[in-house]
Amino acid sequence: MVNVDVVSLGRLDYQQALSIQEGQAAKLLAGETEDQVVYTVEHPPTITVGKNGTRDHIVAPEATLDELGFAVYDVDRGGDVTYHGPGQLVLYPVLHLGPWNNDVSRYVRMLEQVVINALKHVDVESRRLDGYPGVWVGNAKVCAIGARVKKRKNGEFVTSHGLALNVTTDLSHFQTIVPCGIVDKGVTSVRELLTTEEVSLFEWEHRLLDSFADVFQVSLNEKR
């Protein structure tokens, strides 16, 4: 069984978290380590624009973003415009994909399955939606997925970025953007879906990691 280290970064600025995961990915790409690592993090209000995105999908005026304390970054993951913020649980798996047949499409499906299985444990039926990466409940996205892969000299892919699950997220913050450039669908959160239950980001961090271990068939070693 593959061993994966889990590093909880707590609440951390997006650029700082990006630097940490990129540093680990660089070591994997250079062959300086074989460690498999998953970072968990919660960001302050942040908008990221992926390689396939456009800042035209940021619809709030700059003055409004400043007032709300938003940071905006262009990033090298796939996808369009995404929001990160308090109450959203982000997983950044920095993995080399040899143990999973070096299959990037399979990797993305596995990330989606991690969330689908975790939600199923609380009787929420979620799904994939053809042509729209992520995890959906009805026509509302509860989890965004944006992976980035680079290739080692031996042809093995190394991953970065990952998934962002809305747990107790302030959904009004999504009104500042056209999420992922999709105009005809909504967003939701675990708290909105579980209206009769108390929802905790800490609890969902462990729930999601348990699901990750099951789907990826790995042993997790938490490093706090």
Domain range annotation of the chain: 2-223
> Which pLDDT score, from 0 to 100, does residue 22 have?
95
> Which pLDDT score, from 0 to 100, does residue 180 have?
56
Question: Which H helix or E strand runs over 150?
Answer: strand 140-151
Residue 40 is labelled as binding a ligand = no
Judge whether residue 115 has pLDDT over 90. Answer: yes
Partners of 132 in beta bridges? 129
For the chain, what is the largest distance between any 2 Cα atoms, rounded to a whole number of angstroms? 51
> Which pLDDT score, from 0 to 100, does residue 224 have?
61
Catalytic residue flag (residue 180): yes
> Which pLDDT score, from 0 to 100, does residue 85 have?
93
- Determine which one of 180, 187, 213, 218 is catalytic: 180
Residue 54 is labelled as binding a ligand = no
**What backbone phi and psi angles, to 5 degrees, belong to 174?**
-70, -15
The rounded distance, in Å, linking the Cα atoms of 21 and 57 is: 26
* pTM greater than 0.85: yes
Mean pLDDT of 196-210: 92
CATH architecture of 2-223: 2-Layer Sandwich (3.30)
Mean pLDDT of 181-193: 82
Residue 75 is labelled as binding a ligand = no
Residue 183 is labelled as binding a ligand = no
Question: Which H helix or E strand runs over 46?
Answer: strand 46-49
55-59, 156-160, 193-197, 213-217: least confident range: 55-59
Question: Apex CA 198: angle with CA 192 and CA 204, to 5°?
Answer: 80
Residue 147 is labelled as binding a ligand = no
> Which pLDDT score, from 0 to 100, does residue 25 have?
97
Mean pLDDT of 144-173: 93
